[in-house]
Amino acid sequence: MSPVRGPVPLVRALPALVLALVACALLPAPAGAAGRTYVAFGDSYTSGLGMPDQRATPSGEPNCFRSARNYPSKVAARLDLGAERTGGWADFSCSNATLSGQALLSPLDLLGEVALAERAGALGRDTRFVTLTGGGNDRWDAAGLGLFAGAIICLNDEGCGPNPSAQTFGRPGSVTAAAYAARARPAIDRIRTLAPRARIALVEYPEVLPASGPLCRTDQLATTPAPAGSAAYTRAATSALFAAQRPAAEALGLTFVDTTAATTGHDICQESRFRWYARSGDTGADPVHPTEDAHTAIARVVLAARPSLPRARLTGPSSARVGRTATFRATNLVRATGYRARLTRRLSVAGRTRTCSAPVGGRRTASGTASFKGRVPSRLTCAGAPRASRSRVTPAGRYTVRVCAETSSGSCRSTGSTVTRSVRVSR
């Protein structure tokens, strides 16, 4: 494990944040919520502070600066879980968040994020995978700033002076596995109560600073060595937190996701073509925060730690007649805005082989199970065919019944949210 990594908190719109949290506290939690398949928690290293494609803030929540390119988004896309919140996953990570609300300027902590998820109905019996990252913004003793905020300020010599150990931003010795586990435990216990079947994974911070050798200032675009005394304090402060993470995960019974191998060699002191973290003046992320390349690498190791998710199944008759009613039942579906069942077959139309189809049973919203009952259609519509030949009488033969989750445009998503069954149709 690399000893030198970590986030820097950013303070934005604190009054609005506090008001939003109060508003959330007044909202009732959905009773017996099914939950989303995957739920993410964390701080700015999870949310994607400063990255492109920032998501709109849901009504009644603080502005947490979540990017649609962060690692939870990439994990959800790989698992084909659809849209955030309305689909099979939800992201409650928030810039400035702490483990236990003890930072000077971070009013939202891990338990607060879990409360937001609970009120949104995101944690429940269908939740299978939960990830979290935290601790870098926490104030681990009486110092006025979160540990990593002080470490980075010190690294750039903004107030540390010639003897940074005497300018105490936080004592590295106050960060222990026992202290880390104690701060995270209330939120972990609540997650387990709400989502008893979920695997919970603690995702390690990526390697933002080199594990050995000289450190660089992060407040300059050019590579400039950091003062030796400042570098020594930064190493001590960051190594304390990262030494605590794995044993804390073990004490809490969490899966530990090690990001070291996936991110080594891409720290903030590398030249720009190898660097996965922004310095002051860079684009792609807030300073001292991971860019999309780092989030992509983290998503890969997170996916390797995921549990096996239930596979969707489609049951129903193996044969059917045109004009007669047939019922098909899909199970283990992830939550989606809508599912549709279609009878499909490849036919030769206007000199080309085209996909022809017709709906069966109408549209259903689903999270778990959906039944589609309707008459086997007498005519099919052939995609891309000239208007005069687009409609075709349903011929006898072998067809595929395809149940798929819709995209925002109404078409089918192409991967894991689709389930099929072969059916012989007669007239």
- Which is it for strands 397-405 and 313-315: parallel, antiparallel or unpaired? unpaired
Instruction: Convert the pLDDT of each residue in 291-308 to its tens digit.
Output: 999 999 999 999 999 998
Question: Residue with structure tokens 């939960």?
Answer: 130
| Bridge partners of residue 358, in order along the sequence | 343
**Annotation: CATH topology of 14-304:** Rossmann fold (3.40.50)
The segment(s) of the chain belonging to CATH 3.40.50.1110 are 14-304
SS3 (DSSP) at 284: coil
Does this model's pTM top 0.85?
Answer: no
The CATH number of 313-426, from 3.40.50.2000, 3.30.365.10, 2.60.40.230, 2.60.40.10, is 2.60.40.230
How many Å is the maximal CA-CA distance in the chain? 89
The segment(s) of the chain belonging to CATH 2.60.40.230 are 313-426
Residue 91 burial (10 A CB sphere; 0-12, 13-18, 19+): buried
Residue-by-residue pLDDT tens, the chain, 427 positions: 444 444 544 333 333 333 344 334 434 445 557 899 999 999 999 999 999 999 998 988 888 999 999 999 999 999 888 889 988 899 999 999 999 876 555 568 999 999 999 999 999 999 999 999 999 998 887 656 787 788 888 888 655 655 555 555 667 778 899 999 999 999 999 999 999 999 999 999 998 888 888 888 888 877 888 887 788 888 888 888 989 999 999 999 999 999 999 999 999 889 888 999 988 888 889 888 999 999 999 999 999 999 988 888 999 999 999 999 999 999 988 877 788 999 999 999 999 999 999 999 988 877 788 999 999 999 999 999 999 999 999 999 999 999 988 766 666 765 556 889 999 999 9
> Which two three-digit tokens encode residue 299?
């998503």
Beta-carbon-side half-sphere exposure of residue 3 (alpha carbons within 13 Å):
13
What's the count of helices (H) and strands (E) in the chain, helices before strands?
9, 13
Helix (H) or strand (E) holding 294: helix 292-304
- For the chain, the helix, strand and coil percentages under 3-state DSSP, each to the nearest 5: 25, 25, 50
Question: Residue with structure tokens 């400042």?
Answer: 230
> Which two three-digit tokens encode residue 223?
């590579």
Angstrom distance (rounded) from CA 233 to CA 161: 12
